[in-house]
Amino acid sequence: MRRPTTSLLLAALLLGAAHPAGAQAESVPPFRALQDNRTVPESKAQVQLSFAPLVKRAAPSVVNVYGTHVEKRAANRGAMDEFLRRFFGDAGPNLPQERAQRSLGSGVIVDASGLIVTNNHVIENMNEVKVALNDRREFEAQILLRDPRTDLAILKIKSPSGGLTPMEIGDSEHLQVGDFVIAIGNPFGVGQTVTQGIVSALARTQVGSADYQFFIQTDAAINPGNSGGALVDLNGGLVGINTAIYSQSGGSHGIGFAIPASMVKAVVETAKGGAKTVRRPWLGARLQHVTPDIAESVGLDHPTGVMVASMQPKSPAEEAGLKRGDVILAVDGQTVDDPEAFGYRFALKGIKGETKLTVLRGSSRTTVPVRLGPAPETRPRDALKVKTRSPFLGSTVVNLSPAVIEDLQLDLPAATQGEGVIISEVEAGTVANRVGLQKGDILIAVNGTPVATTKDLERVTRATAPMWEVTINRGGQQMTSVFGG
């Protein structure tokens, strides 16, 4: 006998569904019975379900942020001005006396006093900031706090006239993959726009747009200009600040990332307390990923946690009794899968009291209490921006200390974490950049003279020299280079 074709089977099922009565209906359940418990709308009100009430409540809290950096030109601009004056005469074209750079993004009002949270990259290098409300009112704003490590910044409206609608900071810890979320911002400068999607993933740590990476991933359309805008849950709470997109074209491909509200809240509270910088707890240990091989060797059924690779002397990690090779599995009961996740969880604990780490040591698990406190600045940084003619021209150096290592997020070997001078910044296109100096290089000697402080380097670089012999420590390896004067 020939087997029934697919079309005949489908017809039989449809007939069974269409005629529930009779023997066939009893042997083949109705098609509707095969579905889950979703139901067909039974009223006009159910058909007209909408996000509109939520958007109406949340939209007034989201603002447009305009940043401007005005650079004044010198009165005498050189040969080009003189050429134009001679060619055109005194009535010739007037070159602009100022050059302005502009940025555009979004922000969220989080306090009735006029506090606004946005992305640091929206107002980076800007010295004038304005915000435009949903009702088209515009205000000047001052920058209270910049936190590049989280890519967050806090603004305050200078002269609020009342009528501000703050958004409550929600609970990002209870978000689940699949939850509905709303993104509100100002994409491409077209004006306030609302998009809807779901939480696609949580705890994304390989995005690369901030030091503390623990992002909410969403498929709500996020585009340039949405940065600093709100990710809102169905309770109307702020669960994230939209900060990055994954795109090869610059437009939305359905992969957007938001900074969780738990980190946003910590930065907002710092600004409310009047601090200009966010201080975070210091562990004083270098951590590494747990690979499949490491997981198998320590008895884990899958790679999770972080392994202690080394510790700084007199650090909280050393004081707590952590040992090299320990695997940290959780912070106050919250599991961590990689160093980025650990850094995020640990940073939220503040700088007072203690936290408990779940540690796997050998074949046993134990709980280790760790004192919370900021990294000590054992000596002043004495930052020096080198402006003299030397291989260091265009670099900024500071005196090394645990606080500097923590702030710069440097992964230095334990042997190099004492005193010294370290390069904290190298401007693009400068001499220092061209000769290959890098952020994190530790200076040992210049032209045979030991460099222990930034003042030592300042004295050495005052002199002119036909050749420069520079010895540095980079990643634990000492190297010497010779440059022309």
Give the angle subtended at the CA of 302 by the CAs of 358 and 331, to the nearest 5°.
20
Is 227 within any annotated ligand binding site? yes
**Residue 349: how many other CB atoms lie within 10 Å:** 17
What's the token pair of residue 110?
Answer: 């989080």
Is 226 within any annotated ligand binding site? yes
| CA–CA distances in Å: residue 22 to residues 11, 16, 17, 34 | 17, 9, 11, 18
Report the distance separating Cα 218 and Cα 214, nearest Å. 13
| CA–CA distances in Å: residue 346 to residues 65, 226, 292, 374, 453 | 31, 28, 24, 12, 31
- Tell me which of 61, 103, 106, 151 is the catalytic residue: 151
253 tagged catalytic:
no
Contact 286, 416 (CB under 8 A): no
Contact 348, 263 (CB under 8 A): yes
DSSP-assigned letters across all residues of 5-65: PHHHHHHHHHHHHH--SSHHHHHS--GGGGS-S-----SHHHHT--SHHHHHHHGGGEEEE
| CA–CA distances in Å: residue 12 to residues 5, 112, 258, 390 | 11, 64, 50, 87
Residue among 289, 402, 410 at smallest CA distance from 340: 289
Is 225 within any annotated ligand binding site? yes
Report the distance separating Cα 482 and Cα 485, nearest Å. 10
Report the distance separating Cα 96 and Cα 84, nearest Å. 13
Contact 396, 385 (CB under 8 A): yes
- Tell me which of 61, 103, 106, 121 is the catalytic residue: 121
What's the token pair of residue 307?
Answer: 């392994």
- Tell me which of 106, 200, 227, 390 is the catalytic residue: 227
Residues 6+ apart with CB under 8 A from 363: 298, 299
289 tagged catalytic:
no
What is the torsional sign of CA 310, 312, 314, 319? negative
What's the token pair of residue 416?
Answer: 């190099």
151 tagged catalytic:
yes
User: Would you name the residues annotated as active-site residues?
Assistant: 121, 151, 227
Annotated binding-site members: 121, 151, 225-227
Annotated binding-site members for substrate: 121, 151, 225-227
